[in-house]
Amino acid sequence: MQNASPKNIRHLTLEEIGAYFKELGEPTFRAKQVYEWLWQKKAQSFADMTNLSKALRQKMGEQFTLQALSIDATQYAADGTVKSRFKTFDGHLIEGVLIPTEDRKTACVSSQIGCSLTCKFCATGYMQRKRNLLFDEIYDQVVMINDQSERIYEKKLSNIVFMGMGEPLLNYRNVLKAIERITSPDGMGMSPRRITVSTAGVAKQIRQLGDDEVKFKLALSLHAANDEKRHKIMPINETNDIKSLIEALNYFHQKTKNEITFEYILFHQFNDSLQDADELIKIYRQVPADLVNIIEYNPIAQGGFQKPDEKTTQKFMNYLEKNRVNVRLRKSRGKDIDAACGQLANKEAIH
């Protein structure tokens, strides 16, 4: 049973692993033991699987690969945020962040190596997209950030947000498969209601989420409430305009009844006027959205944007509230280590 190139063992089902052991003449419970090592006991290599004989581990090592992520570097922010730079089996670097608050411990994870969307305000958008992350690589990020949370804060992760590097809906299958493993009882057993997938707006894939009747929450990175402005900062808007996104979000909600959030970064004298607020209110009223998250902008060297002063931000939010919009200010975390929203770009980190 010699393969030309060894297969990633985590891409096999429990049944397929069982069939492999049956062919070797091994008892069937071996498959369950291995599956536990892969998805619950955090094995980084076959050598870690200590309840299997050395000969069997060696045989598996010849037959399969186990392409675990490793932590390349870690940075700790003054506010308790932890940014990790992970290394993939083929030498690429990605970043994930642990964001602690009093009542939540959130993992912000990446879905691609780089990004192809070139949003003007986001550091990741200035990187090339190298490839999609595999579902087991996404899973590893969550496991490792959960380990950090338990070690530093003595608490498991309470939430996961797909708001790191990359556009999750352009890596659709791997993101859904990763979430299936994260929420599965033989994975991390986490509730899908505690997971939010954030998209820059891929209307076709938002509809697909509805058809697949996913259980997790959805966030749309809106950031401008008319097409002209959104075109300028998010080129994806040229093929996924606001009207098509509103229709897709309504379809998603009709199929799933899941929570929808709008994300809106305020940029100084670009989208922070009361006229902009009026346009945002119009969109909010056309979608069964639960919340508008106003996000503090974290300037990046290439962006050319600034954040508005607190008075302007407050005025914008007060106006939304007065018009019965459920709005919240999302304070930036981890700015001092470039771990805040829109800053992930694999800069040199320190151990």
Name the one residue in this structure whose structure tokens are 């209601």: 193
Name the one residue in this structure whose structure tokens are 């730079």: 85
Q: Is 180 a catalytic residue?
A: no
Q: What is the DSSP letter of 13?
A: -
Q: What is the DSSP letter of 333?
A: -
Tokens of 277: 């607020």
Tokens of 62: 């010849």
**Strand duo 159-162 + 131-132: pairing:** unpaired
How far apart (Å, rounded) are the C-alpha atoms in residues 213 and 317? 33
Is residue 138 helix, strand or coil? helix
Distances (CA, A) of 70 to 143, 152, 344: 11, 19, 18
Tokens of 7: 């297969």
How far apart (Å, rounded) are the C-alpha atoms in residues 110 and 58? 32
8 A C-beta contact, residue 221 and residue 198: yes
Closest CA to 81 of 331, 261, 293: 331
8 A C-beta contact, residue 16 and residue 9: no
DSSP 58-90: HHHHHHEE----EEEEEEE-TTS-EEEEEE-TT
| Catalytic choice (115, 119, 122, 341) | 341
Q: Is 341 a catalytic residue?
A: yes
Which phi and psi (to 5°) does residue 261 adopt? -120, 145
| Catalytic choice (95, 137, 167, 263) | 95
What residues are annotated to the active site?
95, 341
